[in-house]
């Protein structure tokens, strides 16, 4: 990592909140900024779902919204630190659609306007708006072409972001084969390829609940393949084993079906995860230095439910603030081994991403947010503290509670 005399320069850390919690309830910038301030949070991630999506909002309305944000920020002292894509774009094939016209539309009419909005507020942008259909996953040639096109577009967006002064641009880490990046090695490969093409920094958003799917997509053993082939021949119920899309299954009634299935699996390494890919702390240690945004959600490891960090959920949760911050410290302690390495991030926004149910009462949402913010403030007492300062704070303040 960057630094002088061989000493790492640790990034500044800020506690933030995604205003998706306020969607359809507190939609005016002044409303959600006041709520954030009352919870002790002064950085907000503006979700496209909360009335700033360029596909659902006219250019004139979006310009007015940005003016409202600036006025509300002056009144409250709260700022928009990042923008983020929402459910609308997440639900589509988007930037990886088989139809080039759709890919162009998503890039030019959604992502580039979002970059412009973020830059106008001196904020960063994170997003996820692409997926590969099963037909592409089944065909290694089609997959390579689709992946190359996606990487090219990401590099172009990085160049645009750098040109307009965007503070950071990052794609979100996911957890299933059709939504990349979903493995640690795949994420490292994506970041390297995009940076080499665009020569502009391009980062990754990590999410503390996005390690729940990889365990279902690990490479099968020969014995597992044999068990599936035998079950197919007998007409028995199939074992719960991931062998890739149904499109790559061979005719199991023919001789050599096991070997043929194995060959098809070997030709598609992008479909399979390693054990470490299901470990949130492994992701943080390996990629935290390239993560300007860390989405914080409590989880028990079984689902990405975006639960708050309340006493009740923390009892069964696997996300612990000390461990998150120490994993980030370990990542950011690594010195660059090459002068050509993409520069690591200078600021990390630990961003509470708390979803609320449609029927959930507003008072409960606000109470969960306040308790979650209070939990994280114990470990990040001031925005802008460097990660090594936070490590020292934890060592002196929380050692008796949970030794490092």
CA gap 402, 3 in Å, rounded: 30
Instruction: Judge whether 36 lies within some domain.
Output: yes
Number of domains in the chain: 2
9: pLDDT strictly greater than 90 = no
Q: How confident is the model at residue 7 (pLDDT cuts 50, 70, 90)?
A: low
- Contact call for residues 273 and 214 (beta carbons, < 8 A): yes
Q: Are residues 227 and 312 in the same domain?
A: no
Q: Is pLDDT at 403 greater than 60 in this prediction?
A: no
The answer to pTM > 0.85 is: yes
Shared-domain flag, residues 162 and 234:
no
Average pLDDT, the chain: 95
Q: Given a cut of 90, is residue 404 above it in pLDDT?
A: no
Q: Is the pLDDT of residue 39 over 50?
A: yes
Query: Domain containing 83 — which CATH number?
Result: 3.20.20.150
Confirm if 130 and 96 have CB atoms less than 8 A apart.
yes
Is 175 found in the same domain as 92? yes
Span 96-124, pLDDT tens digits: 999 999 999 999 999 999 999 999 999 99
Same domain, 366 and 256: no
Q: Are residues 158 and 239 in the same domain?
A: no
Are 191 and 331 in a shared domain?
yes
Residue 274 lies in a domain: no
Whether 186 and 326 share a structural domain: yes
Q: In the chain, what's the furthest Cα-to-Cα distance? A: 74
Domain that holds residue 250: 222-264
With a cut of 70, say whether residue 339 has pLDDT above it: no
Where a domain ends, among 200, 231, 264?
A: 264
Query: For residue 402, is it within any domain?
Result: no
Strands 12-18 and 385-386: antiparallel
Q: For residue 341, what pLDDT is reported?
A: 81
- Kindly state the tokens that stand for 75: 């009144």
Cβ atoms within 10 Å, residue 6: 6
Residue 269 within a domain? no
Specify whether 12 is located in the same domain as 132: yes
Per-residue pLDDT tens for 345-363?
A: 999 999 999 999 999 999 9
On whether both 226 and 209 belong to a single domain, the answer is: no
pLDDT value at residue 153: 98
Residue 270 maps to a domain: no
Same domain, 246 and 371: no
- Specify whether 201 is located in the same domain as 233: no
Domain boundary among 235, 264, 293: 264
Decide if 155 contacts 202 (C-beta within 8 A): yes
pLDDT reported for residue 334:
83
Do 341 and 248 belong together in one domain?
no
Whether the predicted pLDDT of 158 surpasses 80: yes
């Amino acid at each position: 990592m960057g630094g002088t005399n061989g000493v790492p320069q640790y990034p500044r850390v800020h506690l933030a909140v995604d205003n998706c919690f306020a969607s359809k309830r507190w939609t005016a910038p002044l409303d959600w900024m006041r709520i954030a301030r009352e919870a002790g949070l002064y950085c907000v991630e503006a979700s496209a779902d909360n009335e700033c999506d360029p596909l659902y909002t006219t250019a004139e309305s979006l310009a007015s919204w940005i003016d409202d944000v600036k006025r509300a920020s002056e009144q409250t002292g709260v700022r928009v630190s990042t923008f983020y894509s929402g459910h609308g774009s997440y639900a589509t094939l988007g930037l990886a659609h088989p139809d080039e016209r759709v890919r162009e539309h998503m890039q030019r009419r959604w992502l580039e306007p979002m970059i412009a909005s973020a830059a106008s507020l001196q904020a960063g942008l994170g997003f996820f708006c692409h997926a590969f259909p099963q037909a592409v996953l089944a065909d290694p040639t089609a997959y390579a072409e689709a992946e190359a096109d996606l990487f090219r577009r990401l590099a172009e967006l990085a160049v645009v972001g750098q040109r307009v002064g965007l503070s950071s641009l990052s794609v979100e880490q996911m957890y299933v084969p059709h939504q990349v990046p979903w493995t640690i090695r795949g994420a490292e490969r994506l970041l390297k390829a995009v940076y080499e093409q665009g020569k502009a920094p391009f980062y990754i958003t990590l999410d503390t609940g996005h390690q729940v799917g990889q365990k279902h997509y690990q490479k099968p053993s020969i014995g597992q393949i044999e068990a599936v082939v035998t079950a197919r021949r007998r007409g028995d119920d199939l074992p719960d084993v991931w062998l890739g899309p149904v499109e790559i299954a061979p005719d199991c009634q023919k001789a050599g079906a096991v070997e043929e299935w194995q060959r098809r699996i070997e030709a598609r390494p992008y479909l399979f995860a390693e054990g470490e890919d299901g470990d949130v702390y492994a992701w943080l240690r390996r990629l935290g230095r390239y993560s300007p945004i860390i989405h914080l959600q409590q989880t028990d490891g079984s689902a990405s439910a975006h639960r708050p960090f309340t006493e009740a959920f923390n009892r069964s949760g696997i996300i612990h603030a000390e461990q998150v911050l120490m994993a980030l410290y370990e990542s950011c302690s690594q010195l660059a081994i090459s002068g050509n390495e993409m520069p690591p991030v200078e600021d990390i926004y630990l961003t509470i991403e708390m979803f609320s149910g449609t029927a959930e009462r507003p008072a409960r949402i606000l109470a969960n947010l306040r308790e979650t913010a209070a939990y994280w403030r114990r470990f990040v007492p001031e925005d802008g503290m460097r990660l090594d300062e936070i490590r020292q704070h934890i060592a002196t303040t929380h050692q008796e509670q949970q030794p490092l």
